[in-house]
A and B are shown apart, each in its own frame.
Chain A
Amino acid sequence: METHDLEEILRRHPFFEGLAPELARLVRGCARMQRFDPGRRLFREGQPAEHLYVLRRGRVALELAAPGHRALVFQTVDAGDIIGIASLVPPYRSLYDARAVERTVVIAIEARCIREKCESDPRLGYELMKRLVPVLFQRLSATRLQLLDVYGPPAR
């Protein structure tokens, strides 16, 4: 059920919606299915960022830890979304921890593989960037709102 269906699964995922079949095939060549049990980390802060993760099921918490403090979750990401964008931006290092909150199923896309394919086929590169920019944009706007701390009691 997995092998030839992975391309179909990719094309049906909200992030890759509308991707031409030949480009989906290129992505498929870098992709595999992966599962994470609750509490397992997809990646850790400071590690080389090697995969772009496309979430199919479950929930991932993005968090930061500081010495002497508990980890602070600043974002959760659900099915249909993506994480691991640091794997496409030099120096390709993760900026935070990503931990599965629920049993999470992802399509893990090997970053070096997809970067090389984007270099040789700019069409693929553009389709990927076209989809990434809105995600980054939404996250930036959302982060700004969170930064404003609007629900808290007013500062004295």
Chain B
Amino acid sequence: MSTARLRADPAVADPLLPRPVRLRRRRREIAGVWSLELVPADGGTLDFAPGQFSMLTVFGIGEVPISVSGRTADGAGLVHTVRAVGAVSGALCALRPGDLLGLRGPYGNGWPVAEAAAGHAVVMAGGLGLAPLRPAVEALVAEGVPLLLLYGARSPAEILFASDLARWATRPGVRVEVTVDHAGPEWRGHVGVVTKLVPHLPPEAADGLALLCGPEIMMRFAAAALGGAGLAEERIFLSMERNMKCAVGLCGHCQFGPHFVCRDGPVFRLDAVASLLRIEEL
């Protein structure tokens, strides 16, 4: 079963040169996390496959990889969701509508959405991991695929895309379970780790695919829990993250064992990386 792989636009002669994009609108999602709507400033179009990421440049500051979390409503641009944790991501979150940035990509392979749509789909996300999964979930929901979405966040105030989660939960055939690590007394949902929700899996889930994204620890435990619930490793996909500089397989930074996360990933089938995940500091 292959994961989607998009070739870069062959018209781009130099993969290291960004194209100019403009911040059209930004939206604060949760504390320190912003979604940025980026549209081309050179008259071209932007396209992507769910699961891909772009290299965003803030001129004079630097460049970082950011997941594409959706398409703009009018289809002209892409939405990228960023957490402000460093110099560049902090600068991205401080940009104003109308500001210019550079964009390279999107790069990487994507989620196996077409294969996931063939049966029951399980999506497990933790924290910001819901961002690269959002476009995949939208596609599955739009196609009426039976879906179980398990999402874990730190606290109720840190639930990402709460309105999308609520909207998806109203769709027939879609079940959404949200859990938090801790909560105040007004929270009526689950409190506990997201793996605790795995026993909710319906029996037909074992014949479908599972898409996982979140902190590496969470993905390891989630994969183990799914395995315990009967899903084979070949049916589980996760999104890895490593330091990236070039994003085109030439700088060596994003290596994870033999894989270049920027071009062999970021989406990997579990059986390809299970033994690597167990090794510390790989």
Contacts and interface: CB of A to CB of B under 8 A. Distances in A.
Contact of B191 (A70, A76, A150, A153): A76
A149 to B, nearest CB: 7
A151 B214 contact: yes
A78 B215 CA distance: 26
Given A73-B183, A74-B182, A151-B181, A142 B193 contact: yes
B208 interface: no
Contacts of B184: 70-73
Contact of A73 (B127, B182, B214): B182
A136 to B, nearest CB: 14
A142 B126 CA distance: 14
8 contacts: A71-B184, A75-B191, A142-B192, A145-B193, A151-B128, A151-B214, A152-B154, A153-B32
A59 B195 CA distance: 17
* Interface size class of chain B, counting residues whose CB lies under 8 Å from the partner chain: 20 to 34
Nearest to A38: B188
A145 B83 contact: no
Interface of A is mostly: mixed
Contacts of B185: 61, 63, 70-71, 73, 99
Nearest to B189: A76
A151 B191 contact: no
A145 B127 contact: no
A145 B194 CA distance: 10
Given A70-B185, A76-B179, A154-B85, 18 more contacts: A61-B187, A70-B184, A71-B184, A72-B183, A73-B187, A74-B182, A76-B190, A101-B188, A102-B188, A138-B196, A142-B193, A142-B196, A145-B217, A149-B154, A150-B127, A150-B214, A151-B128, A151-B215
A146 interface: yes
Contacts of A72: 182-184
Given A70-B185, A151-B153, A146 B193 contact: yes
A61 B158 contact: no
B34 to A, nearest CB: 13
